[in-house]
Chain A
Amino acid sequence: MAVKDYIRQRFLPHMWCPGCGHGTVLNSLLRAVERLGMSKNEIVMVSGIGCSSRISGYVDFHTLHTLHGRALAFATGVKLSKPELNVIVPMGDGDALAIGGNHFIHACRRNIDMTAIVMNNRIYGMTGGQFSPMSGVGIHATTAPYANIDRDFDVVEMALAAGATFVARSTVYHAQQATDLIKQAILHEGFSVVEILSQCPTHFGRKNKQGAAADMMAHYKDITVPVGSKKKAANPELIERGIFVQKDAPEYCQEYDKIMQQAMKG
C-alpha cells in the first residue's frame, strides 16, 4: 500500500504551519508502517492534546483523540482489551512530559507493548509559544521574554530510568533513520519510546532567531551525533541519536494473561 493510502486525504492540507516538523514525523511514521506492510485495521493511534496530537486525525487507522497528557492511559486501556492490536501513541513534549509526565513514567515501568513517539519541538505551539519542560535554560518563549531559567531534562534518560525496554532518538532531518527507528519500535515487544526532535518555526524558531524551517532542520545535523560517537566525548553538548536500549522484559499484557489463567483455575 502506498504511503498516501494511510492518510485521510480529505483532511489535507493539514493544520500544521508551513515547515512544521510534525508533518515530517507523520511522513516517517507512515513510511515505517508501509515498510512493515501493516494493514490499517491492526493499528490504533491514540493521542492527547496539542499540535502534535492532531496527527491522529490524519491517519486512516483506528484513532482516539483523548485528554491532554492522558493518551498513554487511554492507550493502556485499548491495549489491555485488545492486545492483538498495535498501539502507537504520538505525543508532544509538553503532552508527554509535563501534563502527562506521570503517565509516561508508569507506562515505561509497566512495559506494556506500545510505541510512544515523543515529537519534541521544545515549546507549546498550539497555545502560543509558552516554554515547555524541554525548552531549557536560555530559551526565549512567550512566557519567558527575558530567557527561560527552567532546566530541561533528557527524555531518553528518563525513559531508561523508568524502565522502557526500547528507547531511541532521531530528528526530522534524519528522516530515514527516524523511519527505521519507528519501524523497530513497532516491532519491539514492550514499551518503546522514540524521541524525534522536530522544529517549530512559528514559535520556537521565531523567538530564538533560528531562521526558516529548513535552517532549523539543517541545524539538527550539526547538533546531533550517532550513539557512541567520539565527537560526543569532545563536545558533551551534542545530542546522541540512535538506539539507546533494546532489551527483553516481561510484557504487561502477557503477564496479565497469565494471571487470568491462574484465576480461572479457581
Chain B
Amino acid sequence: MAKKKLKAHHIDRDWCKGCGICVHFCPKNVLELDDLDKAFAARPEDCIACKLCEIRCPDFAIEIETE
C-alpha cells in the first residue's frame, strides 16, 4: 500500500473543546493548542497522516485530508 501523503489538516474551531487528546497522542508531535485552547497544526510538515488524532477526537473536530 502506498504511503498516504498529507494534504491538509481541517480543524473545526467551533467544535474543538481543547481537551488535548490529539496533541497528546500525535506520534510526531505535530499538533499544539493555541492561546484559546484550540488545536492547530504547528508542524504540518512532520505529519505522517496516521489519523490517530482523527479517530480519537471526541468532538469530530479534526480531519486529515490525504492525497
Q: Do A and B truly interact?
A: yes
Choose the segment among A13-21, A110-118, A224-232 that binds chain B (4+ C-beta atoms closer than 8 Å). Answer: A13-21
Which residues on A sit within 8 Å (CB–CB) of B15?
12-13
Closest to A12 in B: B15
Tell me whether A213 and B59 are in contact (CB under 8 A): no
A179 interface neighbour in B55, B57, B60, Cβ under 8 Å: B55
A-contacting residues, B12-32, CB 8 Å:
14-15, 17-21, 23-25
Q: A214-B24, A218-B24 are in contact. Are A24 and B19 (CB under 8 A)?
A: no
Q: Contact check: which of A4, A21, A23, A214 meets B20 at CB < 8 Å?
A: A214
Asked if B4 is an interface residue, CB under 8 A from chain A, the answer is no
Give the number of residues in A that approach B within 8 Å (Cβ atoms): 31
- Contacting B at CB under 8 A, from A1-48, are 3-4, 7, 12-14, 16-24, 26-28, 31
* A209-226 with Cβ < 8 A to chain B: 212-215, 217-218
Shortest CB–CB separation between residue B19 and chain A, in angstroms?
3
Secondary structure class of chain B's binding surface, majority of residues: loop
Contacts of A176 in B (CB 8 A): 55
* Bound Cα distance from A12 to B61, whole angstroms: 10
Chain A residues near B43 (CB-CB < 8 A): none
Interface code B30-59, partner A: CB below 8 Å = 1, 0 otherwise?
000000000000000000000000011111
Chain B nearest Cβ from A160, distance in angstroms: 28
Q: Is the CB of A27 within 8 A of B57?
A: yes
SS class, residues of chain A in contact with chain B: helix
**Residue of chain B at shortest CB distance from A23:** B58
Please measure, in the bound complex, the distance between the C-alpha atom of A264 and the C-alpha atom of B19, giving whole angstroms. 58
Say yes or no: B14 contacts A13, CB within 8 Å: yes
Q: Chain A residue with minimal CB distance to B25? A: A214
B56 in complex: contacting residue of A13, A18, A217, CB < 8 Å: A217
Other-chain residue from A17, A22, A23, A218 in contact with B57 (beta carbon distance below 8 A):
A23
Distance in angstroms between the alpha carbons of A201 and B63 in the assembled complex: 24
Residues of A within 8 A of B56 (CB): 24, 27, 172-173, 175, 217
Closest CB of chain A to B42's CB: distance in Å?
17
Max count, chain A CB within 10 A of own CB: residue among B14, B20, B23: B20
Decide if B58 touches A19 in the complex (CB within 8 Å): yes
* Bound form: Cα–Cα A51–B23 in Å: 25
A-B residue pairs, 5 tightest by C-beta: A23-B58, A19-B19, A214-B24, A18-B17, A18-B19
Additional 4 contacts, C-beta under 8 A, given A13-B15, A19-B17, A27-B60: A7-B60, A13-B59, A14-B59, A214-B21
Could you show 19 A-B contacts with beta carbons less than 8 Å apart? Answer: A3-B60, A12-B60, A17-B17, A19-B17, A19-B20, A19-B58, A20-B19, A20-B58, A23-B59, A24-B56, A27-B57, A31-B55, A172-B56, A175-B55, A176-B55, A212-B19, A213-B19, A217-B21, A217-B56
